[in-house]
Amino acid sequence: MRRITVAGLLGFSLLFAACDDEGPSDECEAGTGTGTLQLTVTGLPGSLPANVQVLGGGGTQIVNGTQTLELTTGTYTLGPPSVVAAPHPLFRTAYRPDGSIPPICIEKGKRSEATVTFAPVPSSGKLWTSNGSGGNTAPLLGFSAEVLGSSGSPAATVAAATGGAEGSAFDREGNLWVVGGTAGDPPVIMYASSTLGSSGPKTATVTLSGGPLEGGFPRARALAFDPTGNLWVSVGFNNKIVKYNQAQLPGGGSPTPPVEFTQDSQGPSGLAFDREGNLWVALSGADKVGRYNASRLSASSTAAPDFVIEARTPPPVIGNLSAPTGLAFDASGNLWVSFNGTLARLTPADQSGSGTATITPAVQITLSVSALPDGLVFDESGNLWFAHSAGKFGRLNASQLTSSGTKDPDIVISSPDVGYSGWFSFYPAPANLPLYHRLP
């Protein structure tokens, strides 16, 4: 038998007993007695559960903090590292152990030691917004949750000098995928989470280009991940919605999308998936919202969406709500749509059906004439964040979303770093929302 020390292994350190190369010693054989494992957890705030899995001995134990375990002799492993998130009423900070620990040999009457060290996911705990208008040196801004609890003029926590940023979506690792903001940018860009902890120039980790993403303007408009991690992109100039399989994403380049939906003159914009895996699309050019059933998302099609909604204003002046852009589901399954300065709520009952329906949403909130929200996001408390006017973005709190009317945001952020906000995202998403990057 020999003892091996491994320190600083991608966030883990470990002192453990290992077996000789010739095979396991008698002391390392399973079931010959008991030994102890001193498991130390560091890097987490307060009493945040670590959710470390200790696998072996015929079962799995969950360890939520520093603990000494008495274990039957044999080989044990620590399960795949889990990302955990600290509670916050707006945007949570996630913590991740960045590596794995070699198998641990528990020997009779002896003690092994392992330390699991967590670190914050750099992109988490912030509200990210695209930052349009000429002259901005930071097209992507991140505002920490701590500066967004009340109205004010905070500087951006992270001002990222990127290749442009419009529609955006996080993957489960906390990497941020964005739409290139100008014709000179790649159509789709991924910035690794590890690069988003500080301001300054950022280098793309992955880019997607070519095929249906190129050849006209506007190119890509919005992004969304489906429940299995495939990336969907709406493309304006050719009226397409395209899918890239999860396996195609790490390599980037110009892969051929396995699925394309083409809708002439529909002008697809915002995208969102519901809990059943159906794809909802803001058809900005047609002043409608469409649903593609989950069963149709594996094959290309030029057929119309399975269900199309045309939304109208209530009496006495009845008219069509126009130019939908941003889409977001709340925790109750309502679909919120940004219609050219009006936020409309489509209930689960409104969303059911097939063919075409004309609906007057029961809740329609009119914002000030200068507010032109594109992307919409709900935070941990059910407040809705959106772009307001030049240099500003804001939120409606959850209680403001229960009734119609003309309303002012209860929080307005007028940061000197903001030109024109557009699309918003944050990591991790709340557990009660149907988003790929949600965490419990």
pLDDT in tens, 414-431: 999 999 899 999 999 999
Q: Is a pLDDT exceeding 90 seen at residue 263?
A: no
Amino acid letter for position 336? W
What per-residue confidence (pLDDT) applies to 15? Answer: 40
Scanning the structure block, which residue is given the tokens 């930052």?
Answer: 131
- Segment 332-338 shows an average pLDDT of 98
Q: What is the pLDDT of residue 133?
A: 58
How many residues in total does the chain contain? 440
CA distance 88 to 270: 27
Mean pLDDT along residues 52-80: 93
Which residues are within 8 A (CB) of 414 and not within 5 positions of it... i.e. 6 or more apart? 151, 152, 153, 391, 392
Domains 2-119 and 126-425 share a fold: no
Secondary structure letter of residue 342 according to DSSP? E
Quick one: what percent of the chain has pLDDT higher than 70? 92
Query: Residue 350: is its pLDDT beyond 60?
Result: yes
Residue 304 reports pLDDT greater than 50: yes
> Residue 81 has what pLDDT?
76
pLDDT of residue 28: 72
Q: Domain spans of the chain?
A: 2-119, 126-425
Q: What is the pTM of this model?
A: 0.91
The pLDDT of residue 101 is 80
pLDDT category at 389 given cuts 50, 70, 90 is confident
**Mean pLDDT value across the chain:** 90
Cα dihedral across residues 317, 318, 324, 329: positive or negative: positive
User: Do residues 161 and 103 make contact, with C-beta atoms less than 8 angstroms apart?
Assistant: no
Residue 136 confidence (pLDDT): 58
pLDDT of 370 higher than 90: no
pLDDT for the residue 369: 65
Least confident window among 123-132, 134-143, 275-284: 134-143
- pLDDT tier at 290 (50, 70, 90 boundaries)? very high
According to the model, what pLDDT value does residue 183 have? 80
| Mean pLDDT, rounded, for 73-95 | 93
pLDDT at 191: 96
| pLDDT, tens digit (0-9, with 9 covering 90-100), for 92-117 | 999 999 777 889 999 999 999 999 99
Distance, in Å, from the CA atom of 266 to the CA atom of 229, rounded to the nearest integer, reads 26
pLDDT of 46 > 70? The answer is yes
Residue 422 backbone zone (phi > 0: left; psi -120 to 50: alpha; other: beta): alpha
111-126 average pLDDT score: 95
188-231 confidence digits (pLDDT tens): 999 999 999 999 999 999 999 999 999 887 789 999 999 999 99
Instruction: Return the pLDDT at 7.
Output: 35
Residue 84, pLDDT score? 95
181-185's contacts with Cβ under 8 Å and 24+ in sequence apart are 181/130, 181/132, 181/139, 183/217, 183/219
Q: Is 2 a residue whose pLDDT tops 50?
A: no
Give 11's pLDDT tier (boundaries 50, 70, 90). Answer: very low
Q: For 306-312, what is the mean pLDDT?
A: 98
Residue 23 has pLDDT above 60, yes or no: no
Q: Choose which CATH entry (1.10.1740.10, 2.120.10.30, 1.10.10.60, 2.60.120.620) describes domain 126-425.
A: 2.120.10.30
> How many whole angstroms separate alpha carbon 368 and alpha carbon 406?
8
- Place 29 in a pLDDT band, splitting at 50, 70 and 90: confident
**CATH code at 2-119:** 2.60.40
Nearest-CA neighbor of 283 among 257, 314, 299, 305?
305
